[in-house]
Structure 1
Amino acid sequence: MLRISFLLAILAAVTQAWLPQDRNLFGNETQDAVSQTVVADIGRRAQNWLPARGKIRGVNLGAFLIIEPWMANAEWSSMGCGGTNSEFDCVMRLGQAEADRRFQAHWASWITENDIAAMSNYGINTIRIPVGYWIMESIVYRDSEHFPRGGLPYLERVCNWASNYGFYIIIDLHGAPGAQVPQQPFTGQFAPSAGFYQGYQYDRAYKFLEFMTNLIHTNNAYRNVGMLEVVNEPEGGHPNLVSEFYPNAYNRIRQREQALGVTSNNYVHVQFMSRNWGAGDPKAGIPGGATAVAFDNHRYLKWDPSVPVSQTGYISTSCRDNVASDNQLPLIVGEWSLSVKTEVEHNAEFQEGNNANYGFYRKWWAAQVIAYEKQWGWVFWSWKAQLNDFRWSYKEAVEKGVIPKNVDEAFGMGVC
């Protein structure tokens, strides 16, 4: 049975701000509990929770407020965006008014309350929502930047649903002004180079973070947002990310909270990609005495050249994995999947459509869960996709029996 001593040691070192267990989001957790019954509070359902013991067990809402064509190609084509690389490019093709209409139809249907209910039934307790800076429409350069408008009500709606179901919510700045990496649709544009790492773009990011902080503390729909990630997967080689952006981002969030009269026990956790990500050491830039700070590491073994390419190799790598080897704590693995190296993913040993491989993927899922729950927990990429491939879709993996609804089963398989 998973023990909580390690988690308690982490929590003892963290001061202020709130965590899921502070608001009893995951139930009345005790060390030896088998299940717990949660008494319904205002805005919450009564339900039985598995003994999460405070661990983040989540999914990303990929292709929701930022569409990545590779994972939602049918949706992308039906919107009239087929053949374009990013939201920016599609809006230019369709024209602003028509693009707004089509993107709003997508936002209305991609994540519904039924999805949130299914997540709850599948043992999920956290959602991470990737958001682009353009959701704050006042900071978009309308003469040169082309993004869909009207996304904010859909973010609010999903946050409210998730809060009603007792989820913990992480919002991350997934698409930064100017793009934090080149030629990546997750930034909302297919930029030829990363234009984010300069003062005027940082200023726009600070405004976005202040805007989100204000919503979190003043709009009841955002009541379960407990973490705000300042930028997703920044590119390495930009020292001012650490020396300038990170400390100012932290300070601007805290200053906004203080101006609102928010007490420190209600601060959001400010999250940074950890040093292991490779874009610098955030601890070198975070102000001394900073509180309620968390770190993020993304672990895609698909792109790790050191992993032996075999079923045994993937499982054994995950069993001995130390995602916090840089000692950047507390840590959440904010993205991971069950996808293997591209050149072998259709081989007989790994083929997703081969039922004989389901046992391997189930064990590898368990090995990753065990590794990541040595820290604060994990958020799978993604909740759903249009790939006919459960390796990228938590929903599909559960429906096919690859991932159990009882996440605690990972610790009883004897995998590691």
Structure 2
Amino acid sequence: MFISLPNSSDTKMTKTNTFLKVDGENIVRDGKPIVLKGAALGGWMNMENFITGYPGHEHQVRRELLKVLGKEKYDFFFDKFLEYFFTEADAAFFASLGLNCIRLPVNYRHFEDDMAPGVFKEEGFKHLDRVIDLCAKYGIYTVIDLHAAPGAQNIDWHSDGGTNQALFWVHKDFQDRTVAIWEHLARHYCDNTWVAGYNPLNEPTDEEHTRLPAFYARVEKAIRAIDPHHILFLDGNTFGMDFRAFTEPLPNCVYAVHDYSNYGFPNPPEEFTGTKEQIEFHERAFERKIEFMKKIGGPVWNGEFGPVYQQASDGIPDWEDMNDRRYAVLECQLGIYAKSHTSWSIWLYKDIGFQGMTYVNPDSAYIKLIQPFLTKKRPMADWLRAAAPSIDNRYPKMWRSERHLTRIVRNCLLADELCCEYAAYFADKSEAELEELARSFALENCVKRERLNAILQEDGRRGEI
């Protein structure tokens, strides 16, 4: 028998003395299996460019905003941004959908600085504690996810490395610092039963494949010495999709996949119409990703998935029909997860209109301020494959030449230059104006993506399985 999710009428459930744990193929609470269903609070304590509209990497745009605003206004603005991004209203809304778990991506820079490694900043816990406590008040579990580790554990922008290299894997010092950060977090949350567990690395990309399992064994041992109770949620290699080098499972650990569908993004292989062949394609893709979990007889957590959506402002005539097809992809995936009792966390809860369950109103102060920046177009060249055909064999191979070019030229070189331009929009703003910009992210100033939320609510309120 499976425990489903708390009914929306059961909000403000503030007490639990039981840690979640792994028991065979299930996550259990009080000995009964529970399926965790929810979303990620991406763009909050780990900001991402497409989520909030800035270019490049978080530390780059923060650097330029600090220059423009000065220390006092800089601290004020980001404190207010973190506050308004998730308040009690968000927790109540989330619980009303029958969802019971929020993944909290965090950036290591909230806890230590590169110029003072190992010196922990207690203020890093201010908003993390606040949101974890708010979620607990409404019966919502949380998973703490180190989305950006020292040195960058993956080659994409969301690890906030500033380059296209995952230096985490080639400098032991970065790994040592990450272990110390997790020891720091474990000391703080070891007694919190509303924390479902820890996600030590988001979407690692270890080109040699063997260093990731070795690091997991090390960090698991370090965390358990301080906190023997909490589950560890361990992402597969190559953005959560590759378990080829994994062998014996670690105790009380859930192995995690990320299951994005190409049918949920622009330029799909073909239009999704829900044919038998298309459904079987998604079933095969998911079965391949969870083969290791089935082999070891363990539970599955899908830490990220979800389509992106178009708006009328995108200028696409059939944008509503396009969105209908993407919602159909989502429903297809949720049906697959239900059959295997897979826990899941959709990407994502809140943004500026690309993918979120909620998004900042186009008429808000923030969107009005940066709208000229958002509408700029910069075409990319397609000469790379002709100049260097071997680019298609570069790790990770599924990126192909176009995506390698985009990541290095647009997300690194071009974006670093554009950070100055973005920051200039904030010049000479008063604290009152900065607070108004931050308040744009408050739920009352956001639009709820009703169709998406209805689909999630229907799945979240499934009865006992």
- Same-fold call, TM > 0.5? yes
1:172: how far off? 0.9
Seen in structure 2, the aligned counterparts of structure 1 residues 244 and 322 have a Cα distance that, compared at 3 Å, is: closer
CA contact (8 A) 2:150 2:174 kept: yes
Matched, 1:298 2:258: yes
Where structure 2 has 5 or more consecutive residues not aligned to the other structure, the ranges are: 17-31, 360-446
Matched, 1:395 2:358: yes
Matched, 1:60 2:40: yes
CA distance in 2: counterparts of 1:113 and 1:150, whole angstroms? 20
SS of residue in 2 equivalent to 1:226:
strand
**Higher percent of residues as helix:** 2
Q: Deviations over 1:336-362 (max 9, x none)?
A: 112389xxx97556x2xx2x4554344
Q: Which moved more, 1:311-320 or 1:232-241?
A: 311-320
Matched, 1:383 2:362: no
SS of residue in 1 equivalent to 2:130:
helix
CA contact (8 A) 1:336 1:380 kept: yes
Please name the residue that 1:48 is paired with: none
CA contact (8 A) 1:335 1:379 kept: yes
Please name the residue that 1:241 is paired with: 211
Match of 2:102 among 127, 130, 133: 127
Seen in structure 2, the aligned counterparts of structure 1 residues 40 and 282 have a Cα distance that, compared at 3 Å, is: farther
Matched, 1:334 2:303: yes
1:268: how far off? 0.9
1:122: how far off? 1.8
Q: What is the letter of the counterpart of residue 202 of structure 1?
A: Q
Matched, 1:157 2:130: yes
Seen in structure 2, the aligned counterparts of structure 1 residues 304 and 54 have a Cα distance that, compared at 3 Å, is: same
More relative contact order, 1 or 2 (CA 8 Å, 6+ apart): 2
1:150: how far off? 3.7
Seen in structure 2, the aligned counterparts of structure 1 residues 149 and 193 have a Cα distance that, compared at 3 Å, is: farther
Seen in structure 2, the aligned counterparts of structure 1 residues 301 and 211 have a Cα distance that, compared at 3 Å, is: same
Please name the residue that 1:322 is paired with: 286
Runs of 4+ with deviation above 6 angstroms: 303-307, 409-412
Q: Which moved more, 1:113-122 or 1:324-333?
A: 324-333
- What is the aligned-residue RMSD (CA, Å)? 3.7
Compute the TM-score of the two structures, normalised by the length of structure 2.
0.64
Matched, 1:272 2:237: no
1:244: how far off? 2.9
Matched, 1:71 2:62: no
Q: In the comparison of the two structures, how many residue pairs are matched? A: 340
CA contact (8 A) 2:143 2:195 kept: yes
Seen in structure 2, the aligned counterparts of structure 1 residues 217 and 320 have a Cα distance that, compared at 3 Å, is: same
CA contact (8 A) 1:126 1:167 kept: yes
1:303: how far off? 8.0
Q: Deviations over 1:8-30 (max 9, x none)?
A: xxxxxxxxxxxxx5xxx935xxx
Seen in structure 2, the aligned counterparts of structure 1 residues 402 and 39 have a Cα distance that, compared at 3 Å, is: closer
Where structure 1 has 5 or more consecutive residues not aligned to the other structure, the ranges are: 8-20, 28-34, 45-51, 77-83
1:108: how far off? 1.3
CA distance in 2: counterparts of 1:208 and 1:196, whole angstroms? 14
Compute the TM-score of the two structures, normalised by the length of structure 1.
0.70
Please name the residue that 1:206 is paired with: 179
1:408: how far off? 3.4
SS of residue in 2 equivalent to 1:406:
helix
CA distance in 2: counterparts of 1:37 and 1:92, whole angstroms? 44
CA distance in 1: counterparts of 2:259 and 2:11, whole angstroms? 36
Q: What is the letter of the counterpart of residue 121 of structure 1?
A: S
Seen in structure 2, the aligned counterparts of structure 1 residues 165 and 291 have a Cα distance that, compared at 3 Å, is: same
SS of residue in 2 equivalent to 1:129:
strand
CA distance in 2: counterparts of 1:36 and 1:157, whole angstroms? 21
Please name the residue that 1:91 is paired with: 62
CA contact (8 A) 2:88 2:134 kept: yes
Identity of aligned residues (%): 20
Seen in structure 2, the aligned counterparts of structure 1 residues 408 and 141 have a Cα distance that, compared at 3 Å, is: closer
SS of residue in 2 equivalent to 1:161:
helix
1:61: how far off? 0.1
